[in-house]
Structure 1
Amino acid sequence: MTATNARPKAGAGARAAVGGGRDVLMLLLLPVPLLVAALPAAFAGGGTRRWFGGRGESQRAEAQAAKDAAAEAFYELDTAQRDLRISIETINAVDSSPRGRKAAEDFDALGRRIDEVSHAYITAVDRHDLDRDDLESSVASQARTELTRAKDDLVRVKGELDRFAQGLGPLLGSAETQLARLAPAVERARQALLAASNALDSVRAAGLRADDLAARLAALAPELTKLNQGAGQHGVPETLQRADVVLRDAEAVRTEAERLPERAAEIDRRLVSLRTRAQALTTRAGSVEPVLSELRRRFSAACWQDLQPVPEQAAVNVRQAEDKLVEAAKAREEQRWADATSRLSTVRALLNATNEAVSAAGDRLRQLNAVAKDPQEEIERTRFAVRDAQRLAMAGRHTPDPRHARPLDDSVARLDRAIAGLEGRHPDYWHFLTETDAVRRTAARVVSDIREERGAGT
């Protein structure tokens, strides 16, 4: 039994505990002549009672004062318990952690102690009628003792309740913060759903179906229902999380719906652009065969064998790209935007690969012509890269770090072998070019390692 629930059971005695305090206050406010006239009536509780002077009335007054003090302590404890119960309910609505559960358990334990001291107080009040005409001094003294003890117990438990309330500060602050977020979060989610729905209506009015977006928005309907049912049914943390998910998903639908007209226009532009590019590559692929013919005529097989499949592969890639363009156009017409975008990405990849292969044949011929005419430029370029790396490796040192010196020494030997390979009737110029490129890449890697190590202070 809590203090709140116990109060109505106090009966006339409990009510008199508070009423007695009011009687004394009213007497203090009366003028002096009226005070003299009112004293008998006030202590008689509104009725008629013989006035007993001396020690008996003094004991009665002390008992009544103890009763008033106990009533005040009872009222303060009851008020504090009511306020704290609201705080506990707030925490329970938000926090299901072990700390939150322990707070509720501790409050229940305090409630049982409050019931005990409240019951003792109410029993003491009901046991003694301080308004009786024949109240004996011994009975008044006993009533004062019991009511004082009840008051002290009420005050002690009130202190425990206050200390417990102070310890709830962090939990209560966190719970109130989440509750303060709840209504705005739910409202934002609802507004986001409304905005997404309006964006879809605008898209449809422009002749775009957006079926996938409509399906995604419809999937959020059950979540909206749960939001409308409230945190009382689903809990505050779950409702906050649900509101965040609905907000994010609805905003994604709205954003995509608003971009849909632009997306459709972009797909139309890409269809035109990629068709033009496919036609241009078909023309360019026709020039590969003459390039290969010249390579075969002037250079050794090692210089052009890897390019032999280019004309056929280019033709295959262009045909596949054209087929995918047809599929993309159909997807666009049916407003299957994701499919159209995917097909166009495939077309772009095929055309990029074809362009690289076709360009490689022409680039190969130019490189081979240049090195066949004068290999010295390629040699000097490579030697400069190696020497530059060697200078950096020796900077600030008497001897280079073996980690840097070894790859550079190997690169010098590799370059010498590549130069020696140019001797003979049919030199492999392509092998020479690949070797010099590898040497330069090794030198660049050593330079990068040295700078990274020195930048790190090692």
Structure 2
Amino acid sequence: MTATPAQPYSPSVPRAHRPRRRLTHTPGPLRDTLALTVLPLLAALALPAAFAGGGTRRWFGGRAESQRAEAQAAKDAAAAAFYELDTAQRDLRISIETITAVDDSPAARRAVTDFDALGRRIDEASSRYINAVDAHDLDRDDLEASAASRARTELTAAKEELGQVKLELDRFTDGLGPLLGKAETQLARLAPAVERARQGLLAASNALDTVRASGLKADDLAARLAALSPELTKLNQGAGQHGVPRTLERAEKVTREAEAVRVEAERLPERAAEIDHRLVSLRTRAQALTTRSEQVQPILSELRRRFTVACWQDLQRVPDVADENVRRAEAKLAEAQAARDDQRWADATALLSTVRALLNTTDEAVSAAGERLHRLNAVQKDPQQEIDRTRFAIRDAQRLAMAGRNTPDPRHARPLDDAVSRLDRAIATLEGRHPDYWHFLTETEAVRRAVARVVSLIREERGAAGH
């Protein structure tokens, strides 16, 4: 609302103060006669005004003054309604600006459109009020009762229209509650979020300075921190330029990344010590595996001497693979040491992970040869222990399948019957002059796995039925 009510009209020079016409050109005898006749009459006319408090308004009777007073009261009431509406519109404009600064949703855009339409309605009502004020000078000396009555009617109508528009504005304001609440919440988050981002950058910078003072370069962390500088510039430019949502996102991103730099910088001495420890540990482990791999050849010789080809042929390349893996691990260790010396922490960590994987593979292969000989010795000495272990697993599954039933479910009985037949065939392979003990062991393991699947199926079905 831009218009303001016109000020009530009043002459620049009040009538009582305007210069009176002097009678200096009247002949003497006539002047004396007029003085004797006119002056008492003027005094009589001025007497009521004097008793009324010295006002300058002419007196036309009680009805005209009553209408003037009512019109003035209507004018005052309309002015109060006008200013109340104007104040409410200004407050509402602040709310709309708050919403648009934060929210670009369809609901927010619709609120702006509705506010513009309401503004036009307010301008129309305000214009009619201002026209009514300008059309009637209630301070005129010769204001007639009928003119005062018309003024009162028009000003009262203007006041009622202003009041009706105020009600529309109040209803619209109430409807903005959710949007305004959301916007105010985001605005309340803005300043703390920006301050957290600044403090996070400061903490990261201080941590980086401390690390460098200890002799660690931390070039990668310094580069990551430098990359946040443009973001800080945009934060300092403020939400007025970049918008509240984008500024909040930027502040959260800067806070998160600065915190990551700070944490890594503070942990860097510990990380360096950890890499040093891993270098020593993996180097020792590589040396131990070199010694262990040398024992694989004698194990293979014994396997070849005592058992059939099927029992050891898959282990033939273990010594060569172990030697190759150890050599590769030692080469990677040297690269990791160089990366650590150059303080390329990520490279050093990746190389050490590769070394560990190579040594784990070698360890498993070397251990497999010794474990194979141990198991073959055990089953050669007493195969019955492996047979009993497998039969127990089958019988336990059969009891579970029959629990609460007169006949087993074919889905359970069939694989269990197959397991019994498969075990019998495995036992039969032990007969003869050169039993294949490794085939026997792999078969009994396969039988136990099949039985375990049936047990798991039964328990799942009964668990589901119980629920």
| Dislocated runs of 4+, deviation >6 Å | 36-39
* Paired position in structure 1 for 2:42: none
CA shift for structure 1 position 156: 0.4
Provide closer, same or farther for how the CA distance between residues 164 and 37 of structure 1 changes in structure 2, counting only shifts above 3 A: farther
Match of 2:295 among 281, 287, 290: 287
CA contact (8 A) 2:197 2:254 kept: yes
- 1:381-408 per-residue CA deviation (whole Å, 9 max, x = no partner) reads 0000111111111111112222222211
CA contact (8 A) 2:9 2:139 kept: no
Match of 1:193 among 201, 226, 244: 201
1:133-152 alignment, distance < 5 Å: 133-152=141-160
Matched, 1:434 2:442: yes
Residue type matched to 2:463 in 1?
A: G
Counterpart Cα distance in 2 of 1:354 and 1:432: 26
Counterpart Cα distance in 2 of 1:202 and 1:240: 30
1:167-178 alignment, distance < 5 Å: 167-178=175-186
* Paired position in structure 2 for 1:400: 408
CA contact (8 A) 1:404 1:446 kept: yes
Counterpart Cα distance in 1 of 2:289 and 2:354: 16
Identity level (%): 78
TM-score (normalised: structure 2): 0.90
Matched, 1:296 2:304: yes
Residue type matched to 1:59 in 2?
A: Q
Match of 1:73 among 81, 89, 96: 81
Residue type matched to 1:254 in 2?
A: R
CA shift for structure 1 position 428: 0.7
CA contact (8 A) 1:14 1:122 kept: no
CA contact (8 A) 1:314 1:358 kept: yes
- 1:120-149 per-residue CA deviation (whole Å, 9 max, x = no partner) reads 101110110000000011111111111011
* Paired position in structure 2 for 1:33: none
Provide closer, same or farther for how the CA distance between residues 272 and 377 of structure 1 changes in structure 2, counting only shifts above 3 A: same
Match of 2:190 among 182, 186, 205: 182
Residue type matched to 2:326 in 1?
A: V
CA shift for structure 1 position 58: 1.2
CA shift for structure 1 position 15: 11
CA shift for structure 1 position 12: 2.0
Provide closer, same or farther for how the CA distance between residues 164 and 39 of structure 1 changes in structure 2, counting only shifts above 3 A: farther
Give 3-state SS (helix, strand or coil) of 2:379's partner. Answer: helix
- 1:285-328 per-residue CA deviation (whole Å, 9 max, x = no partner) reads 00000000000000000000000000000000000000000000
1:107-146 alignment, distance < 5 Å: 107-146=115-154
1:374-393 alignment, distance < 5 Å: 374-393=382-401
Counterpart Cα distance in 1 of 2:282 and 2:188: 54
Match of 2:377 among 369, 390, 403: 369
Counterpart Cα distance in 2 of 1:59 and 1:374: 128
CA contact (8 A) 1:40 1:51 kept: no
CA contact (8 A) 2:311 2:438 kept: yes
1:338-349 alignment, distance < 5 Å: 338-349=346-357
Counterpart Cα distance in 2 of 1:353 and 1:327: 20
Deviates more, 1:259-268 or 1:435-444: 435-444
1:125-274 alignment, distance < 5 Å: 125-274=133-282
Counterpart Cα distance in 2 of 1:208 and 1:38: 100
Counterpart Cα distance in 1 of 2:266 and 2:101: 39
Counterpart Cα distance in 2 of 1:265 and 1:14: 90
Deviates more, 1:392-401 or 1:340-349: 392-401
Give 3-state SS (helix, strand or coil) of 1:11's partner. Answer: coil
Counterpart Cα distance in 2 of 1:273 and 1:14: 100
Deviates more, 1:395-404 or 1:221-230: 395-404
Residue type matched to 1:12 in 2?
A: Q
TM-score (normalised: structure 1): 0.91
Residue type matched to 1:13 in 2?
A: P
Match of 1:277 among 257, 281, 285: 285
CA contact (8 A) 1:14 1:125 kept: no
Match of 2:326 among 318, 323, 329: 318
Residue type matched to 1:258 in 2?
A: E
Match of 1:12 among 7, 25, 31: 7
* Paired position in structure 2 for 1:27: none
Residue type matched to 1:132 in 2?
A: R
- 1:316-370 per-residue CA deviation (whole Å, 9 max, x = no partner) reads 0000000000000000000000000011011111111101100100110010011
Give 3-state SS (helix, strand or coil) of 1:12's partner. Answer: coil
CA contact (8 A) 1:40 1:49 kept: no
Give 3-state SS (helix, strand or coil) of 1:131's partner. Answer: coil
Gap regions ≥5 residues in structure 1: 17-35
- 1:88-136 per-residue CA deviation (whole Å, 9 max, x = no partner) reads 1111111110000111111111100100010110111011000000001
CA contact (8 A) 1:285 1:315 kept: yes
RMSD: 1.6
CA shift for structure 1 position 457: 2.3
Bigger radius of gyration among the two: 2
CA contact (8 A) 2:58 2:142 kept: no
Match of 1:84 among 89, 92, 115: 92
CA shift for structure 1 position 39: 6.4
CA shift for structure 1 position 52: 3.3
Provide closer, same or farther for how the CA distance between residues 85 and 164 of structure 1 changes in structure 2, counting only shifts above 3 A: same
CA contact (8 A) 1:371 1:378 kept: yes
* Paired position in structure 1 for 2:36: none
Give 3-state SS (helix, strand or coil) of 1:148's partner. Answer: helix
Give 3-state SS (helix, strand or coil) of 2:465's partner. Answer: coil
CA shift for structure 1 position 450: 1.7
Counterpart Cα distance in 1 of 2:461 and 2:258: 50
Residue type matched to 2:406 in 1?
A: H
Counterpart Cα distance in 2 of 1:396 and 1:40: 116
CA shift for structure 1 position 54: 1.7
- 1:17-54 per-residue CA deviation (whole Å, 9 max, x = no partner) reads xxxxxxxxxxxxxxxxxxx999656xx6xxx2223332
Residue type matched to 2:330 in 1?
A: E
Counterpart Cα distance in 1 of 2:99 and 2:361: 63
